[in-house]
Amino acid sequence: MAAPMSNVDEIRKRVILSEFGVRNVHTTDYPGNYPGYDDAWSLQKFKKNFRIEVVHMDDTSMEFDMIGVDAALANAFRRILLAEVPTMAVEKVFVYNNTSIIQDEILAHRLGLIPIKADPRLFEYRNAGDEEGTEIDTIQLQLKVKCTRNPRATKESSDPRELYLNHMVYSKDMKWLRPGQELDVVMHCVKGIGKDHAKFSPVATASYRLLPEITLLQTVEGEKAERLKRSDWTHAAERF
């Protein structure tokens, strides 16, 4: 739990969640904004106060705390993740055969949304107007699959997973094929960023929240203190 702060320090360093809204979300630490405070930006001061603590990370998500920055800067990091970090994505789809029930345009759209597991640092941006890619700016992938009946399926079975072979097209995506339907497409993947097209965004979503700090305005004793100790707010405050 934090000790009470002066009004000026509270305004300068805290985002306040009040009864009628959130206050102090804008940046205020610049020279001359508060008399008597030297808020000139210093790289050494920033490095001393700023730190990142990874809370959770796995193959599909990451949660981390940025400590020592205000809400505006945290939001800037979020927007950079969405719009400025390059990735590889399907840009062109050449359909040589498609006898499935899904139209070519919808198929190409779905393929464009599939994350491509490739390091964009190994590739260059394709030049505007280039009709054909090269090994330095394009990944070429092929999807060629045909659905057939499973000869080993029992007559009583009604499960498509037993009745058909290749009725599901991976990577973990399309479930459209039935016997006789066939896909034969070639995909060209290029480098891009999210502000050009959402398919290049490296994250499904990026959000931020504020680190909680609880200030008790009066002494809490007895049964109320026990309830407060067991509350989620107390655990959150202890973490920081």
pLDDT tens by residue, 191-226: 999 998 888 888 777 887 777 777 777 888 888 888
Q: Are residues 150 and 169 in the same domain?
A: yes
Q: Are residues 92 and 186 in the same domain?
A: yes
Q: Are residues 188 and 212 in the same domain?
A: no
Q: Are residues 180 and 230 in the same domain?
A: no
Q: What is the pLDDT of residue 240?
A: 41
Q: Are residues 195 and 101 in the same domain?
A: yes
- Is 0.75 surpassed by the pTM of this model? no
Q: Are residues 102 and 196 in the same domain?
A: yes
Range of the domain at 60: 7-84+205-239
* 12 touches 28 (CB < 8 A): yes
Query: Per the domain annotation, does 1 fall within a domain?
Result: no
Structural domains counted in the chain: 2
Q: How far is CA 2 from CA 109, 132, 237, in A?
A: 51, 61, 9
* Overall average pLDDT of the 154-183 stretch: 75
Torsions phi, psi for 226 (to 5 deg): -65, -40
Please tell me what DSSP assigns to residue 83: H
Q: Are residues 157 and 53 in the same domain?
A: no
Query: Per the domain annotation, does 19 fall within a domain?
Result: yes
Q: Which residues are within 8 A (CB) of 77 and not within 5 positions of it... i.e. 6 or more apart?
A: 66, 208
- d(CA 214, CA 227) in angstroms, rounded, equals 15
- d(CA 237, CA 240) in angstroms, rounded, equals 6
